[in-house]
Structure 1
Amino acid sequence: MALAATAPLALAALPVDRAAAQQAPNAQQADLQKVNAYIRAVTSMTADFTQTDRNGQSLTGKLTLKQPGKIRFQYQKGVPLLIVGDGKALTVIDYEVRQVQRWPIGNSPLGALLDPTRDLSKYGKVIQTGDPSVLSVEARDPKRPEFGTITMIFQRKASAPAGLELYGWVALDSQNNRTSVRLANPQYGVPVPDSAFKWTDPRPKGRAG
């Protein structure tokens, strides 16, 4: 499953300001450093999320994040799906079919958001939106295209960490599966126990691993 954000798909269609597209490199670097600062400042967060896949189907739920590398997507009641990052691996658990998929977080588009040590100035670029209050940054590893691409969308907000509030993101995996995620009601610095990133294995005993 490609993790993305229901980042306002409308933002992706915003007209590009051609003059702003010539934004000075130092200004782009400053914005990338702001995003770096945001990722490092948000040690924990909870938020409501809406996830939309490439077919336009949406699910809602609760996101819990704790740096470094821990994230949980708890879906709405009745959806037998759970996504958990435990600091090393990202795991997708489908309780309906009793299947588990697991891969290194760094191999996922979400790695850009969950690794405070990474320097976006080396693998990210600012995407012009035509709206000075919106900062959009695309992150991809040009040497590892199979890891996919994430476009993070921020609202500039003085009271938020590093002056930015994560509005959502759009993720594109190597199979061109697009997922968008929109966040709402973020709460920063909340106590989050490590137990929040544990999960129950639905596979028959002897097959888990």
Structure 2
Amino acid sequence: MRTFLVPLAAIAVAAAPAAAQGNDLAAVQRFLAAAETMTADFSQTDRNGRVLTGALTLKKPGKIRFQYQKGVPLLIVSDGKAFTFIDYSVKQVQRWPIGNSPLGVLIDPSRDISRYAKVVPSPNPDVLSVEANDPKHPEFGRITMVFARDASAPAGLMLQGWVALDSQGNRTTIRLNGQKFNAPVSDGAFRWTDPRRQGRSG
């Protein structure tokens, strides 16, 4: 599958016309409402250029799981209330509210993105990039979602990936492949084993 994700530095910073902004943001809002579940393969590139791969599972409202490749003892999962980061190599578990993460925009269809998102112009008319952040909480970071216009996808948009920037300026790029939407996904997909206590699950 062709990937349209481009680095933030390659995206123009000029403001798009207001009418186009409104139409494109409305399309993204429709996508977020229509894509009730999604599965995909992902590749993650961090600020140091390290690349990890894995499988992504999403179910609205509020659930997402990043299952990393074999041999990587990490897991990120949201159970609908909070994100949990598990490092099985050191038996460490960290949790933070969904609302404190820029990824919340992907898994909460009730949020009105027109209040905190803007279209970022792209040199490719087949690409739609939208940047979202909470100006009242810059510590939550920001996310730039990249879509390809695709009539076969929900609301005519195919989510290609995103670039997340935290409050310290650390950039993480996610690229998606093999996206599938609205197939049944069990809530059991978002359970996890707590390495701090044998037999305990989240």
TM-score (normalised: structure 1):
0.90
CA gap 1:82/1:15 in 2 versus in 1, 3 angstroms: closer
SS at match of 1:36: helix
Specify the alignment match of 1:167 in structure 2: 160
- Tell me if the contact between 2:15 and 2:121 (Cα under 8 Å) persists in the aligned partners: no
CA gap 1:178/1:7 in 2 versus in 1, 3 angstroms: farther
Specify the alignment match of 1:149 in structure 2: 142
Identify the structure with bigger relative contact order (alpha carbons < 8 Å, sequence gap 6+).
1
Residues 1:24 and 2:17 aligned together: yes
Structure 2 spans left out of the alignment, 5+ residues: none
Specify the alignment match of 2:30 in structure 1: 37
Per-residue deviation at 1:189?
1.1
- Cα distance in 2 for residues equivalent to 1:141 and 1:97: 33
Per-residue deviation at 1:176?
1.5
Per-residue deviation at 1:22?
5.5
Residues 1:139 and 2:132 aligned together: yes
Dislocated runs of 4+, deviation >2 Å: 10-16, 21-24
Specify the alignment match of 2:77 in structure 1: 84
Per-residue deviation at 1:43?
0.5
Structure 1 spans left out of the alignment, 5+ residues: 1-5
SS at match of 2:183: coil
SS at match of 2:42: strand
Residues 1:70 and 2:63 aligned together: yes
Residues 1:200 and 2:185 aligned together: no
CA gap 1:183/1:140 in 2 versus in 1, 3 angstroms: same
Work out the percentage of aligned pairs sharing the same amino acid.
64
Q: Give the paired residue count.
A: 199
Partner amino acid, structure 1, of 2:8: A
- Cα distance in 2 for residues equivalent to 1:173 and 1:12: 14
Per-residue deviation at 1:23?
3.4
Per-residue deviation at 1:196?
0.4
- Cα distance in 2 for residues equivalent to 1:33 and 1:60: 31
Partner amino acid, structure 2, of 1:153: V
- Tell me if the contact between 2:74 and 2:87 (Cα under 8 Å) persists in the aligned partners: yes
Per-residue deviation at 1:188?
0.8
TM-score (normalised: structure 2):
0.93
Residues 1:119 and 2:115 aligned together: no
- Cα distance in 1 for residues equivalent to 2:83 and 2:188: 15
- Tell me if the contact between 1:7 and 1:170 (Cα under 8 Å) persists in the aligned partners: no
Deviations 1:164-189 (A, max 9, x none): 00000000111222101000000111
Per-residue deviation at 1:24?
2.3
- Tell me if the contact between 2:16 and 2:120 (Cα under 8 Å) persists in the aligned partners: no
Partner amino acid, structure 2, of 1:12: L
- Cα distance in 1 for residues equivalent to 2:129 and 2:11: 13
